[in-house]
């Protein structure tokens, strides 16, 4: 019988549960999706006590909108997830330029380690603010 691993993380909203008034909890795929999003949207040097966590995605968004920048974005995503999110294995990262919306479309496909779930896709749109 295969082992089935469960993951739990605190919700970053810190809203109380309506009945127990404890902090809400994200479970399994939702917890990992939240963790991956946090890693990608965190700038390097932003987190106290561990300045290496995060990416340079915000800096890359102000580079030319071309395939070279898309490749650099894919490399940043792969590096931070491989280094700081051991619960998943990346299957594929596709970064494409979106000239009409002036940004990058990102499709991240991954598998959760220790589970028999299907491939999970995370779609993001990165744009300059």
Does 2 fall in a domain?
no
**99 assigned to some structural domain:** yes
How many separate domains does the chain show? 1
- Domain carrying residue 111: 8-127
> Is residue 3 included in any domain, yes or no?
no
Q: How far apart are CA 82 and CA 88, in angstroms?
A: 8
Cα separation, 102 vs 97, in Å, equals: 8
Tens-of-pLDDT digits for all 129 residues of the chain? 345 566 666 666 667 777 777 776 666 777 888 889 889 999 998 888 888 898 999 999 999 999 999 999 999 999 999 999 998 999 999 999 999 999 999 999 999 888 777 898 999 999 987
The domain that holds 50 is classified in CATH as 3.10.450.40
In a domain, 114, yes or no: yes
Q: Cα torsion for 100, 120, 90, 4, to the nearest 10°?
A: 160
Contact 93, 70 (CB under 8 A): no
Whether residue 31 lies inside any domain: the answer is yes
């Amino acid at each position: 019988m295969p082992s089935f691993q469960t993951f739990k993380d605190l919700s970053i909203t810190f809203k109380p549960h309506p009945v127990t008034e404890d902090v809400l909890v994200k479970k399994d795929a939702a917890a990992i999706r939240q963790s991956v999003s946090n890693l990608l949207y965190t700038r390097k040097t932003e987190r106290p006590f561990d300045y290496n966590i995060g990416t340079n995605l915000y800096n890359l968004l102000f580079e030319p909108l071309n395939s070279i920048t898309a490749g650099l974005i894919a490399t940043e995503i792969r590096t931070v997830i491989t280094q700081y999110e051991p619960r998943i294995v990346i299957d594929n990262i596709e970064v494409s330029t979106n000239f009409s919306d002036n940004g990058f479309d990102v499709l991240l496909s991954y598998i959760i380690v220790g589970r028999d779930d299907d491939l999970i896709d995370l779609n993001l749109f990165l744009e300059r603010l």
